[in-house]
Amino acid sequence: MIDLDKKIAIVTGGAQGIGAAFVRGLAKHGAKIMIADLVVADKLIAELGADKATSCICDITDDAMLAAMVAQTRETFGPATILVNNAAYFSQAETKMFDELTNEDWDKNLTVNVRGLWQTSKAVVPDMAKAGGGSIINIGSGSAFTCPPGQIAYISAKGAVQAMTRAMARELGGQNIRVNVITPSLTKSENVAKSPNWSQFLDKAKANRVLSRDMLPADLVGTMLHLASDNSGFVTGQTFNVDGGLYFY
């Protein structure tokens, strides 16, 4: 049984796609949620109810916006005890090989996908520690294992998330804060599904999985809920690869 009653969660990038699936899963099991995103989450809040979820516009690389988001969470529901670091930069429009990348491409991937997770965690940890501890769930990528061509900046950033997760787990354990990472393979979220550039990659991933079907946002929710709940109270610094068996290939 997953019981998140009285738990307060923050989900970055929670207005759509995988993030929205996380928000719905947390709400279903009793948590109250702050949805932090660059786009409004009005439809999702209307679906769940204002007593279950609220939202704010937040850039995870902006310290002032992060501080305001944490304060709004505390004032609305209480101090956060769950943080799902889901927000990320991922270009569905194109792939670029190693020697085609610009410095700007590299910097954007590392700034959002690595520094942004660190900044968000740094902003949330004081409230989490005062509440007696909690769970930070970073969202990485299985591409850090399979390394498909044309995504080296993104792959490098998501590989760094795994290392950062282990380092954070060691530093925050004394405050009863657990830190783990989920590494999904290519997921058929709404944005990926409507991008014609990615249909071939979805088909290839499906063909190469042990469980031969598309991976959907809902496939990640169970693992996230386990890590968010007290059921995983002695689990930290771990990587949970959720990919339907793609890594076997």
Contacts of residue 150, defined as CB under 8 A and 6 or more positions apart, other chains included, come to: 95, 96, 97
Q: How far is CA 100 from the centre of its chain?
A: 28
Q: What is the enclosing helix (H) or strand (E) of 180?
A: strand 177-184
What is the distance between the alpha carbons of residues 135 and 30, in angstroms, rounded to a whole number? 16
What is the distance between the alpha carbons of residues 143 and 242, in angstroms, rounded to a whole number? 12
What is the distance between the alpha carbons of residues 198 and 210, in angstroms, rounded to a whole number? 20
Closest CA to 138 of 166, 161, 160, 119: 161
What is the distance between the alpha carbons of residues 109 and 113, in angstroms, rounded to a whole number? 6
Active site residue 249: no
Q: Which two tokens stand for residue 207?
A: 């063909």
Residues known to be catalytic: 154
